[in-house]
């Protein structure tokens, strides 16, 4: 079994992640699941209660045994890498707090996996997607709703949860929208006129009253709109357009970032618009061809363009 002291330490670490690092609720749940799974394995593997003493003595061999067990039960390399990252983060914090050497855990190599690069839509495909979404619904107000949501994803780079989380206090949409994203991180997002226009059109057509502090986007029966409805309408649209299965609501956000970068936007500004904590995350969100990268390089790099230094 896992000792009460270790469970308490785990709880303290999760509180630390929640309070100081702003980890989202889903992230905290994933961390907890990963750590409990790891500690449970070590308890069975060593046949001993997993308290501070045994935890501080875990070896590289123990780590390899855990990882082999995870792969053996079908855990994908990407998921295992995430679990290992959580274990390392917890150990780094615990070692600093309790004063033991965590090298064996921290030096464990993460399994290799191929990162899945996002596949943004081409500009014309993104526009056609919005047009096709509009003709899927039988009721005009639902068509207006779906167009408004998808336009916010593409025109403002919102996550679908952020678009569906807009409430009566957010409308009429201002020129700059304040968004609370993952982990409670706040960002300001410019709202293009096209987005304001389609949201206003939806609000005018919606048959249900938009009451105080309630979501503005409603389901067909008047309740809050769920992401599944937008996923379904986009799935129907992409089949009609012959687009791949990667043409999802989240792909519209990828497209927002990529098309901005292709048009000359800088990566740091796009990072702020997307609400990413890490620039590397923004880089993975954007897909810019080699020609565009070389244009930027030749125009800005002093060795490639001597005029850039003048």
CB 52 within 8 A of CB 9: yes
Burial of 186 (0-12, 13-18, 19+ CB in 10 A): exposed
Rounded to 5°, the CA angle 273-292-300 comes to 80
Q: Could you give the residue ranges of the DSSP H alpha helices within 47-172? A: 52-56, 60-72, 77-98, 103-106, 123-134, 140-156, 160-164
CB 149 within 8 A of CB 160: yes
CB 175 within 8 A of CB 211: no
Task: For the chain, give the number of residues.
Answer: 310
Distance CA 14, CA 257 (A): 32
Q: Any idea which residues carry the catalytic annotation?
A: 159, 182, 250, 253, 276, 285
Distance CA 48, CA 96 (A): 24
Token couple for 292: 């565009």
The DSSP symbol for 177 reads E
Burial of 298 (0-12, 13-18, 19+ CB in 10 A): exposed
CB 67 within 8 A of CB 105: no
């Amino acid at each position: 079994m896992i000792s009460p002291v270790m469970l308490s330490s785990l709880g303290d670490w999760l509180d630390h992640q929640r309070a100081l690092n702003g980890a989202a609720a889903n992230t905290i749940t994933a961390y907890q699941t990963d750590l409990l799974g790891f500690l449970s394995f070590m308890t069975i593997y060593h046949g001993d209660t997993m308290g501070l003493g045994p935890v501080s003595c875990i070896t590289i061999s123990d780590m390899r045994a855990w990882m082999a067990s995870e792969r053996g039960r079908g855990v994908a390399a990407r998921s295992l890498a995430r679990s290992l990252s959580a274990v390392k983060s917890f150990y780094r914090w615990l070692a600093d707090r309790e004063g033991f050497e965590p090298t064996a855990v921290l030096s464990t190599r993460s399994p290799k996996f191929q990162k899945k690069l996002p596949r943004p839509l081409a500009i014309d495909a993104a526009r056609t997607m919005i047009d096709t979404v509009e003709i899927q619904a039988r009721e005009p107000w639902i068509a207006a709703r779906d167009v408004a949501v998808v336009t916010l994803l593409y025109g403002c780079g919102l996550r679908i949860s952020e678009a569906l989380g807009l409430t009566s206090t957010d409308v009429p949409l201002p020129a700059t929208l304040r968004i609370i994203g993952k982990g409670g991180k706040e960002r300001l997002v410019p709202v293009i006129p096209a987005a304001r226009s389609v949201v206003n059109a939806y609000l005018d057509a919606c048959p249900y009253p938009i009451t105080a502090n309630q979501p503005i986007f409603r389901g067909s029966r008047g309740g809050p709109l769920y992401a599944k409805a937008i996923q379904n309408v986009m799935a129907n649209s992409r089949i009609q357009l012959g687009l791949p299965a990667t043409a999802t609501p989240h792909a519209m956000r990828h497209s927002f970032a990529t098309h901005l970068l292709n048009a000359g936007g800088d990566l740091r500004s796009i990072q702020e618009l997307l609400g990413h904590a890490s620039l590397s995350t923004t880089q993975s969100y954007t897909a810019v061809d080699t020609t565009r990268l070389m244009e930027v390089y030749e125009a800005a790099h002093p060795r490639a363009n001597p005029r850039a230094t003048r």
